[in-house]
Structure 1
Amino acid sequence: MTARIEARFALARGENRAALVTFITAGDPDHETSLAILKALPGAGADVIELGMPFTDPMADGPAIQQAGLRALKHGESVTTTLDLVRAFRAGDDATPIVLMGYYNPIYVYGVDRFLADAREAGVDGLIVVDLPPEEDEELCLPALKAGLAFVRLATPTTNDVRLPAVLQNTSGFVYYVSIAGITGAATPDFGVVASAVARIKRHTALPVVVGFGVKTPEHAAAIARGADGVVVGSALVDAVRTSLDGDGRATEKTVSAVTDLVSALAAGARSGRAAA
C-alpha cells in the first residue's frame, strides 16, 4: 500500500511543490458528515489524508483534536467504523493515500493481526502511532511493514543526531517532523528553525519529510513548503469543523465547506511557498 504514498509525493515533486497533508478526526462531528468531508478533501487540494482514530486519552493532542475525538466517540465512532470510512472513501478514490493516526491502545484491543489485515483490506496505506517508540517496533511497526503498510515515524525538536538513526530505522512512507515541542495546535513554529531541522533530517534519509503541529494559515503553509516535502494541517481543520456546528454540536450545511475552503487556501499557500523559494 505504500505505492500510493510514493506516487503522491512523486507527483508533488514533479510539480515542484510541497504536498498538502490534511488531518481530520474520523467520526467528527458524526460518521456521515465525516465521510462527506473525507470524500471532499482531495478535490479541495489534499494530497495525503491523515485520519485520526478517536481515543479517550490522546496525550499528544491539543484541545481542538481532543474535543474532536470526544465528539466522535459520543456518536459511537470506533476502530471498526473508522475502517468503514476508509472503505467508503476507497469506493470512489483509489489514488489518495490514507494514513491512520492515533494511539496503540485501540489497536491492541482490536487485535494487531486482525487490525492490520482489516486496515489493508479497507484501503489504508500507512499508520502513525504516536506512543510507540522505536524500541517497541516488534509490537506493531514490523508487523505493519510485513503486512504492506507504511509506518510513519515522528521526529521532534529534541530528536538529535544520536537518536535520529533509531527513529528512521524502520520508518517508511514519509517522516513526520513535529515543528514544536508539545501538543498539537499549541503554538506557531519558528520557520527558520524548522527549515534547518528538515535539512538535517534529509541528510539522514531519502524519505519525504513533512512538517506539522502549529500550521494554521496559508502563510504558514507557504513558509514550511519552502524546505519540506509536505505540510501537515490538523488542528486548524478540526477547528473549522467545530466552529461550523450548531448550538447543540451538530453539523450544519456549512460544515463540509468550512473545511474544504480552508484546505483550498492552504493548498494554494503550499504551492506558492515553493515558487517563492
Structure 2
Amino acid sequence: MTHYQNRIERRFAELKAANRTGLVTFISAGDPDYDVSLEALLALPEAGADVIELGMPFTDPMADGPSIQKASLRALNAGQDMQRTLAMVRALRERENEIPLVLMGYYNPIYRMGVENFLSQASDAGVDGLIVVDLPPEHDDELCLPAREHNIHFIRLAAPTTDAKRLPLVLQNTSGFLYYVSSTGVTGMAAPTPERVEAEVNAIREHTDIPIGVGFGIRTPEQAKRIARFADAVVVGSALIECIEKAATPDEGTQAVVDLTRSLAEAVDKARKYQ
C-alpha cells in the first residue's frame, strides 16, 4: 500500500512548527448515548482538541479507572457497538476532515469483528490510529503490522515501569506518537509529579524521535500546563468523562466537555508559546 502522510503525522508536524504542545482529548463512544456522544465528538475540534481519542466500549476495561469503566457501561447499555462507533467517525469526517482520530480500547471487540474487516472499515471511516492496551509488542503480527498496511498508526503505551530493556521492543513498531502513562495504576487516578515525568520523558527521547503524549491523572488546566512544558501532547480523558457523568442533563454534559476542553487548550497553548 502506498504510504501517504497520515493526519497524526501532519498534526504533530504543525504543532512542532508552531512551537505548540498538542491537546489530546478522550471521550467514550456512545456515552451516555449515541446522539449525545456524537454531539460532544463534533464539538471537540472547535473547542481546541488537536487529536481525539474515541473509546471503543468494552465490558472489561481492565486498564481504566472507575470513570471510564462506568462510561463504557453506560454506552453499552445504550446499545453502542463497533459499527455505531465507526458511524460516529464517519459523521465526524463529514464535518471535519483534518483532526486526527484515534480509536482506543481493547482487542476483543476488534477480534470478534475480524481484524481485516475492522481495519478496512476503520480506514474507510477515517480512523488514523489505534491504541489497544491489551496487545503487547509480542503480538504485533495480530493487529499492529496489519494496521500499518491500512495507513493506521499503532500507538503504544510506555510507563514508569517500562525499563531500558523493554523500551526498544515497545518503540519498535510504534508510530504516530508514543503515549506515556505518567503514573502506574488505572486511568484517572493519582496526578503525576511534573518533575519526575519530565525526567522520564527525556530519558525516552534519547531512544526515539517519535512525539510523546503524556496522560493519566491530568485533570485540570494547571496540571496540563505544567506537563505541556516538556511533552509533545497532553492527554486528558477521565476529567472529560466525569463532565458527562456528573451533569444534570445531557446538554449540560456536552457543554461541560466543551468548556473544559477550551480551558485545557488555552492552558496548554500558553505553556510553550513564549519560550
Following the alignment from structure 1 to structure 2, what is the Cα–Cα distance between the partners of residues 237 and 210?
Answer: 17
1:264 corresponds to: 262
1:140 corresponds to: 143
Q: Which structure 2 residues correspond to residues 1-277 of structure 1 after superposition, within 5 A?
A: 3-246=6-249, 251=250, 253-275=251-273
Moved runs in structure 1, 4+ residues, more than 3 A? Answer: none
> What TM-score comes out, normalization by structure 2 length?
0.97
When residues 18 and 203 of structure 1 are mapped into structure 2, their CA distance, relative to the original with a 3 A threshold, is same
Contact 1:28 1:72 in 2 (8 A): yes
Following the alignment from structure 1 to structure 2, what is the Cα–Cα distance between the partners of residues 226 and 255?
Answer: 29
Deviations 1:217-262 (A, max 9, x none): 011111111111000000000001111144xxxx2x3121110000
Contact 1:226 1:276 in 2 (8 A): no
Following the alignment from structure 1 to structure 2, what is the Cα–Cα distance between the partners of residues 4 and 133?
Answer: 24
Secondary structure, counterpart of 2:213 in structure 1: strand
Following the alignment from structure 2 to structure 1, what is the Cα–Cα distance between the partners of residues 161 and 168?
Answer: 13
Contact 1:2 1:126 in 2 (8 A): no
> Which amino acid in the other structure matches residue 267 of structure 1?
A
Deviations 1:73-96 (A, max 9, x none): 000000110000000110011100
Contact 2:6 2:151 in 1 (8 A): no
Following the alignment from structure 2 to structure 1, what is the Cα–Cα distance between the partners of residues 247 and 210?
Answer: 36
Q: How far is the alpha carbon of 1:275 from its aligned partner?
A: 3.8
Deviations 1:36-85 (A, max 9, x none): 10010000000000000000000000000000000000000001100000
**Which stretches in structure 2 are left out of the alignment for 5+ residues?**
none
When residues 14 and 46 of structure 1 are mapped into structure 2, their CA distance, relative to the original with a 3 A threshold, is same
> Which amino acid in the other structure matches residue 269 of structure 2?
R
Aligned length: 272
Following the alignment from structure 2 to structure 1, what is the Cα–Cα distance between the partners of residues 137 and 194?
Answer: 27
Following the alignment from structure 2 to structure 1, what is the Cα–Cα distance between the partners of residues 223 and 172?
Answer: 30
Q: How far is the alpha carbon of 1:273 from its aligned partner?
A: 1.7
> Which amino acid in the other structure matches residue 85 of structure 2?
T
Following the alignment from structure 1 to structure 2, what is the Cα–Cα distance between the partners of residues 216 and 35?
Answer: 22
> Which amino acid in the other structure matches residue 86 of structure 1?
V
Secondary structure, counterpart of 1:58 in structure 2: coil
Q: How far is the alpha carbon of 1:157 from its aligned partner?
A: 0.4
Following the alignment from structure 2 to structure 1, what is the Cα–Cα distance between the partners of residues 5 and 32?
Answer: 29
> Which amino acid in the other structure matches residue 254 of structure 1?
E
Q: How far is the alpha carbon of 1:2 from its aligned partner?
A: 5.5
Contact 1:2 1:150 in 2 (8 A): no
Q: How far is the alpha carbon of 1:269 from its aligned partner?
A: 1.1
**Which stretches in structure 1 are left out of the alignment for 5+ residues?**
none
Q: How far is the alpha carbon of 1:276 from its aligned partner?
A: 6.6
> Which amino acid in the other structure matches residue 223 of structure 2?
H
